[in-house]
A and B are shown apart, each in its own frame.
Chain A
Amino acid sequence: MSEQSVTTEQATSTDHETGGISIGQIGLYATLAGLVGFYLIPIESGLVTSIKTSAGLDNTMPFLPPTTGSWITFEKWQVAFDFLAPGMVNSMLFTIPSTILCAILGSMAAYGLTLVDWRGQIAVLSLFIAGIFVPYQAVIVPLFQFWSQYMQLGTRLSFLWGLPLLEPHYATILELIITHTAYGIPIVTLLFRSQYKTMSEEMIEAARLDGASIWRVYQRIVLPLSIPMFAVVFIFQFTQIWNEFLFSLTIIGSTNDPAASATLILSGLGQSLEGTDYPLRMAGAFITALPTLLVYVLFADKFAEGVQT
């Protein structure tokens, strides 16, 4: 909210405040607090469940913390972490490079498409934007075939796996990096374009007339001005790619694969014939969500601005 609107709203409501707190105000805050309960209870009960022993689970309400010391255990966090740790590393290994690549390529595409003014521009742009709305199901069979039958990066790059620090399952990680980058480009392009459209055309025109090349204008004018948008895109894409599941499921395939992502491992965690180990799953859910929650808490306002565009 802008400063101005805050002050006007306050000015109109002073008469309310002088009369003390009205019933309407109490009702409003009660509703807001009730909604806080609605949005937090599933998360909160997951958190308290994750530290309960089976006795604690049986003897306390799901949303209440365990009451006696013997009902509390952090063992499930330990177990979940041991299961998830390799997946967390894998997820980082593909999420960070794809996020960076998406941001760079998307910003370049948006610049190129905002600058040009030719008949086909809107057609190319439409293809970029329509790409946002393609359901992943519409492409996973060809994608699966492409990576597993035609490309087979693992075999093609086999000469690399003798080198130190390189492991065969990095081929799958590389496939995920390329796939996530390709699918991230449309939305990132749209985000950057919405900003580039508002940039002053005269400034760019003037720079061009001064003899600056297209690259130079991009480097010297456009890039510095788009740093805030880069931040938004990083937050948005990091969350999207970290949380993505279907590509992991189809490209990696199995929870036991050394390239398995955190979401893929979580989807099969604590599942047995006897039933679901809820405390273990909850602990796993929090560990998996930790990086995105961290990003969200640190940059919540930027995130809110980002989704508004």
Chain B
Amino acid sequence: MTDGGTSEERSTLRRWLDSDIVQSSPFWLPPFLLMGFFVYAAIGWNLLLSLTEYSGFGDPDYSNLGLHNYRAMLDDPGMWAATRNTFVLLVGFTLVCLVVGLLLALLLDREIRFSRSFRTIYLLPFALSFIVTAQFWRWMYNVNNGIVNQFIGLFGLGPYRWLGSPKLVLGAVIFALVWQFSGYTMIIYLAALRSIPNDQYEAARVDGASTLRMYWRVIVPQLRPATVSASVVLVLFALKAFDFLYATFDGYRPRRGADILATKMVRESFGRAEWAYGSSIALMLFVLSLAVIAPYLYNQYKRGNL
């Protein structure tokens, strides 16, 4: 629809103005600039801060940049503990959530009365915030009155200080988070299970395969894409477990054994005003999540899902 220009130059300009990138930019450029400033510029700024020695007085000194914060990390025993706990939380929470969610989905993926109500109830904790669920689980884990201790007391066990003991606390946190998020995994798996054609179940049944064998050989392998996408989201939630820990322990100072990079980062920055050190931990966290996400995004791109 061009041909308005007389000179070569004019028509180039005209073609440029008519190009899709320019025509569509009013739609994507404003959101891009807003997000780009707050997300990517902020990360860049964070990187810069992590190279300074800024600890809360005046302005950061950007003229003297160095890697000392990253070196300090290597000598910080709290850093190793937090990294270890972060990995245990990420891996433990994600795996248990996947397994529980898959089992829930397999249970519900039959003709069952009230299956919609069951689904709604199992997903209910997902609608609550970390701060709210933390209140419930503090109470569940309470040493004297907590249901968890009363329940295991029936079997002559406990009581344990679930949230007070360095050995138990991380497991207790993971358990509570699985309660909150396994319903989400279930929803993802249910969607995937329902997209598997019915005749595949039939064929397996006609072959005389046992139910268990059928699921293991025929159904579960087809759930790989669902597993990948659910894992990615679960890792994200695990990275946000800060909120839960904050509300459980009344501040960014969790009991020994439950400190993760996210809590340590906020404590160093906002608690001890070690802004530069906090920023370097933040960058570690960012790299960690990037390491999880980048392969996923690349994979999605290659499959044409982006």
Contact = CB atoms under 8 A, between A and B. Distances in A.
A246 interface: yes
A23 B54 CA distance: 67
Contacts of A40: 121, 124
A228 interface: no
Nearest to A286: B132
A36 B121 contact: yes
Majority DSSP secondary structure for residues of A touching B? helix
B70 interface: no
Contact of A140 (B30, B135, B282): B282
Contact of B38 (A5, A115, A183, A244): A183
B119 A304 contact: yes
Interface stretch (A71-79, A119-127, A155-163, A164-172): A119-127
Contacts of A234: none
B120 A300 contact: yes
A199 interface: no
A137 interface: yes
Contacts of B107: 28, 31-32, 35
B297 A131 contact: no
A276 B138 contact: yes
A200 to B, nearest CB: 18
Given A109-B27, A285-B136, A304-B123, A182 B262 contact: no
Interface stretch (B4-12, B61-69, B213-221, B237-245): B237-245
- A contact residues, range: 35 or more
Given A13-B111, A120-B21, A185-B31, A45 B49 contact: no
Interface in B132-191: 132-133, 135-140, 142, 145-147, 150, 179, 183-184, 187-188, 191
Given A40-B121, A112-B25, A126-B297, A185 B20 contact: no
Candidate in B20, B24, B297 with the most chain A CB atoms within 10 angstroms: B24
B23 interface: yes
B23 A38 contact: no
B32 interface: yes
A139 B37 CA distance: 11
Contacts of A289: 127-129, 132
Contact of A134 (B39, B270, B281): B39
Contacts of B212: none
B297 A243 contact: no
A9 B194 CA distance: 11
B13 interface: no
Nearest to A263: B131
Contacts of B80: none
A239 B45 CA distance: 29
Interface residues of B, number: 98
Contacts of B137: 42
Contact of A135 (B29, B129, B289, B297): B289
B39 A245 contact: no
B35 interface: yes
A267 interface: yes
A9 B301 contact: no
B45 A142 contact: yes
Given A116-B21, A137-B265, A108 B194 contact: no
Contacts of A8: 198
A18 interface: no
B27 A45 contact: no
A308 interface: yes
B21 A118 contact: yes
Interface string A262-278: 01001110010000101
Given A126-B301, A245-B246, A186 B35 contact: yes
A61 to B, nearest CB: 7
B88 interface: no
Contacts of A244: 129
Contact of B262 (A130, A135, A218, A276): A135
Interface of A: 1-2, 5-6, 8-10, 12-13, 28-29, 31-32, 35-36, 38-43, 45-46, 49, 57, 61-63, 105-106, 108-109, 111-113, 115-118, 120-122, 124-146, 178-179, 181-183, 185-186, 189, 214-215, 218, 239, 242-246, 249-250, 263, 266-268, 271, 276, 278, 281-282, 284-285, 288-289, 292-293, 295-296, 300-301, 303-304, 307-308
> Which 3 residue pairs of A and B lie closest in terms of their CB atoms, listed nearest first?
A112-B27, A243-B129, A112-B28
Given A109-B31, A117-B20, A126-B301, 4 more contacts: A127-B32, A135-B240, A214-B27, A243-B131
Interface of B: 19-21, 23-32, 34-43, 45-46, 49, 104, 107-108, 110-112, 116, 118-125, 127-133, 135-140, 142, 145-147, 150, 179, 183-184, 187-188, 191, 194, 198, 202, 232, 236, 239-240, 242-243, 246-247, 250, 261-262, 265-266, 269-270, 275, 278-279, 281-283, 285-286, 289-290, 292-293, 297, 301, 306
8 contacts: A9-B110, A46-B135, A113-B24, A130-B290, A189-B31, A245-B243, A304-B123, A304-B187
